[in-house]
Structure 1
Amino acid sequence: MDQHLNVFIQVVENRNFSRAAEALHMSQPAVSQYIQSLEKELGTKLLERTNKYVEVNKAGNIVYQYAKKISRNYEQMRVLVSDLKNKPSGELKIGASYTIGEYLLPQILAQLQFQYPDIIPIVSIGNTEDIGKKLIQHEIDIGLIEGEFSHPQIQAKDFWTDEMYIISSSRQPLLIRTYKDLEKQTWIIREEGSGTRKMLERFFESYHISPARLITLGSTQIIKEGVESGLGISLLSDLTFKKELELDRIVKLDVEGTPIRRQFFIIKNHHEFHSKAFQVFENLVMSWLD
């Protein structure tokens, strides 16, 4: 990749010539010379300098966005050429929504390590919206999400049918005869952007349920602990509470319209060449869950 663009990226991201020079193992005057040469070639100023920081102007932001694309394409080209003569290896950045990341992905990664020990997975966990945005911004290579994420840049295919149940504490048995009984309960729900929350909101809408009290918690584990303690009821994937069910800490409520089924999806960027590591991971997810 052109060294002028590489130096420019480092200066923009470090917002400082000295820190950029350290990252590049270059002298500060050499970094300044590269930037001046690039500005001269393009015929415009790209950076605004202050005593402490460097900021990009409008022209600089355009150059930075294209430089990042060129950098990604160069790295992808290097990996793909290497793949022609080598077995699957290197880093693979995987994003997963919480239910998948905490309850399915560890088993998939164990199998990946056994079959392809030279692949190094780097995992990001977040809600469905977070993972979709990371993929769009090329912060991850592939995503595994619960629920839907739509974007023209993204291709999605389903790999698992999940079942979701309304659960309550086994200490306080509930008798639910009507949806009105559900309205009287305290519901423990996930945060905005969560695939699990979207499914619950659709359930409420479908059956015209308006709960009297909602408590929002940011993780499935905390929700399970809240349900166990009698704080309220919730809707969760049966992948998440198998142990609690076996230990008789949680019970599934017999409610018409449940279990609710939803799809888990692999998401990836359209029209991109993918490394061998990417391809074997995608194939492993599809085949392992058959």
Structure 2
Amino acid sequence: MLEDMRLFATVVENTSLNRAAERLNVTQPALSRRIARLERELGVDLFRRIGKRLELTAAGQLTYEFALELRRFHGEYLQRLNAFKSEEAQLATIGASLTTLQTTLPGLITAMTEKHPNLEIKAVTGKSHEIATLVKERKVDFGIVASSVDDDPAITSVPLFDDSLMLVLPRTHYILERTHLEVADLNGLPMILFAPGTWYRTMTDELFRQYGLKPDVRMEIDSFEAIVRLLSACRAGTLLPKSYLRPQLLEDNELYVVRIKELELAKRTTSLIHGNPGWLPASTRYLIEETIGFFARSAHQARD
């Protein structure tokens, strides 16, 4: 169909089968047969033949407009594809918050580099508003932040997924002897928390204030990995983003996730932010679409 549409558009633009055949370097009878076959497949007449001149029917005009769109989309696709055919390594610079860097970026980078071996990814960290500034100043290709930027017309926000906090405990923790845990059980619970200054810690503190909770905070650390490794030794619990918790991580560290309704209801949307598409290179637009597709597939797999 794509090739037939290309031939059809060439005939329209040359208003003659003979001229179109010369341009396409095919014989006029062969081109005529291809157009006749296309008309049979579509079930409509595309041309009215007035002497040697061809005139589009209404159906032909509609088909020509579609052929132009198809040509444009095909050209953009090839342009984006060519960005990954170069033997030289392609560089993508992604802005991400510290928590996003630890929770969201590793899986994305692994998937991207497996699909595009020549792609090099550089990550720049900062707070959400700092990443937004880097996007506007074109110092990063795009950003992934645990928020949306809807109040700035220079930035486009694309929601990727919703994240919530989960209570994580060592499997041997005494509190797991209870058959049911509620948010009130966090009061006085020994906990290791992420260091202040991120959306994740802000969300945690807001939950504590909302429910009047005062956990026994033993440590504040800016590394999820360090928190996870210290839980058993400190006999403490923690609140971690759902996006960070993977079965192998829990298995390796002998941890258990407790579902608490109030925690699951407190959600934060992680978004991809980018600048004006008009000044984005084709390779960057392609990476943005790939990133959106990656998280869409991940969400679908999680539902299944």
TM-score under structure 2 length normalisation:
0.57
* Structure that is richer in helix per residue: 2
Letter in 2 for 1:215: M
Alignment pair present for 1:162 and 2:163: yes
Q: 1:128 to 1:170 in 2, by over 3 A?
A: farther
Aligned to 1:256: 261
Q: How far is 1:137 from its partner?
A: 4.5
2:270 & 2:138 partners in 1: Cα distance? 21
Q: 1:114 to 1:188 in 2, by over 3 A?
A: closer
Q: How far is 1:116 from its partner?
A: 4.2
Aligned to 1:287: 293
Q: How far is 1:287 from its partner?
A: 1.2
Aligned to 1:112: 112
Q: 1:231 to 1:143 in 2, by over 3 A?
A: farther
Aligned match for 2:82, one of 80, 87, 104: 87
Q: Is the CA contact 2:165–2:263 (under 8 Å) kept in the aligned structure 1? A: yes
Letter in 2 for 1:158: P
Letter in 2 for 1:109: I
Gapped regions of structure 2 (runs ≥ 5): 1-77, 85-89, 297-304
Aligned to 2:233: 229
Gapped regions of structure 1 (runs ≥ 5): 1-82
2:206 & 2:138 partners in 1: Cα distance? 30
Q: 1:250 to 1:86 in 2, by over 3 A?
A: closer
- 3-state SS of 2:234 partner: coil
Q: Which has the larger radius of gyration?
A: 2
Q: How large is the Cα RMSD of the aligned pairs?
A: 3.1
Q: Is the CA contact 1:88–1:116 (under 8 Å) kept in the aligned structure 2? A: no
2:182 & 2:147 partners in 1: Cα distance? 27
Q: Is the CA contact 1:191–1:217 (under 8 Å) kept in the aligned structure 2? A: yes
Aligned to 1:45: none
Letter in 1 for 2:211: Y
2:195 & 2:80 partners in 1: Cα distance? 46
Letter in 2 for 1:201: D
Q: 1:137 to 1:222 in 2, by over 3 A?
A: farther
TM-score under structure 1 length normalisation:
0.60
Letter in 1 for 2:294: W
Aligned to 1:198: 202
Q: Is the CA contact 1:182–1:211 (under 8 Å) kept in the aligned structure 2? A: yes
Q: How far is 1:218 from its partner?
A: 0.9
Q: 1:219 to 1:131 in 2, by over 3 A?
A: farther
Q: 1:114 to 1:169 in 2, by over 3 A?
A: closer
Aligned length: 208
- 3-state SS of 2:145 partner: strand
1:253 & 1:85 partners in 2: Cα distance? 44
Alignment pair present for 1:246 and 2:248: no
Q: Is the CA contact 1:130–1:193 (under 8 Å) kept in the aligned structure 2? A: no
Q: How many percent of aligned residue pairs carry the same amino acid?
A: 15
